[in-house]
Amino acid sequence: MNPEILKRIPQREPFLYIEEIISKEEKTITTSQKITGEEDFFKGHFPGDPIMPGVLICEAAFQTGALLMSYIMEGGITGKTAVVSRIQSAKFKNMVRPGDELQMTVSLVDQIENAAYMKGKVTVNGKTALQIEFACTLVG
């Protein structure tokens, strides 16, 4: 586990879907996660034809957004939790299977006080798996 990620967001195994920070700019971050096939959700989704649930692909983007917020928000997000407060325009374009590596790129579109409005894209092997717009709000 990457200690920088663990320091900045509260999610932990088995519900942490970021393994590495690939790049970070002022308002954009790219992270990655290798999908091994050993994840528990593959036991039932779908046996014999394993596909990562779309909601968990979204979660990988949301966690990447929370990580971006931890860099952007003044004073970070220590003692607070970034929770998803809006999801819009989720488009699933390709499936994610065991052995794939997710690459999540999230950009800040707007920030109003403790809310960040973002857009995200998750790719696998250069192909888009998910495009999404969402908002996270700091609570706590």
DSSP letter for each residue of 99-118: T-EEEEEEEEEEEETTEEEE
Question: Residues 129, 40, 64, 98: what is their CA dihedral angle, to the nearest 10 degrees?
Answer: -40
> What does each C-alpha distance from 3 to 11, 12, 19, 24, 46 come to in angstroms?
12, 11, 10, 16, 32
Q: Which two tokens stand for residue 87?
A: 């999801």
DSSP letter, residue 38: -
Residue 11 backbone dihedrals phi, psi, to 5 degrees: -65, 145
Which residues are identified as catalytic? 45
